[in-house]
Amino acid sequence: MMNAQSPHRTLLWLAYGCMALTFILGLTWIVSVVIAWSLGRNATVTTSVSHCRWIMRSNLIFVAAMIVATGLILYGMGAESGPSGLVTLIGIGVGVILFVFFSLWYVYRGIRGMINLSHEKAMPVPAQ
């Protein structure tokens, strides 16, 4: 259990805050990952470790999904699709769907992490 004054808890709040700022400032996800990575290496409390893993996984999956979604949108915009425009429609459509889905997923992960941190609960960790 972390106490309310724990420096780990404060740094975790900062990491979640950086996640929230990602949609406004763009690259704050990097700060979030660095905080979680450095804190996770030194943390001994399982609650802190679970939050660090949650933050790192959330950010890295989100960034990978945004790269794929952006690639699909750009491919669809530049595709030689012929008269039907099917390749353009599919590329842009799938890219936008991925973008929206993973943006909502990322917001959910940030909010769920903040709620669990405020209640001093560990995050679920996938089986290894």
Mean pLDDT computed over 47-66: 94
Please provide the average confidence, as pLDDT, over all residues in the chain. 88
Domain count, the chain: 1
How does pLDDT run across 69-104, given as a tens digit for each residue? 999 888 888 766 555 577 778 888 999 999 999 999
Residue 110 lies in a domain: yes
What is the rounded distance in angstroms from the CA atom of residue 63 to the CA atom of residue 48? 23
**pLDDT for the residue numbered 77:** 81
Residue 46 lies in a domain: yes
Structural contact between residues 11 and 20, judged by C-beta atoms closer than 8 angstroms: no
Q: What percent of the chain has pLDDT over 90?
A: 62
Q: What percent of the chain has pLDDT over 70?
A: 88
Residue 51 lies in a domain: yes
Give the domain range for residue 108: 7-118
Place 43 in a pLDDT band, splitting at 50, 70 and 90.
Answer: confident
Residue 50 lies in a domain: yes
Q: Which residue has the tokens 């960790």?
A: 125
**pLDDT for the residue numbered 125:** 77
Residue 12 lies in a domain: yes
Structural contact between residues 36 and 55, judged by C-beta atoms closer than 8 angstroms: yes
What pTM was estimated for this model as a whole? 0.86
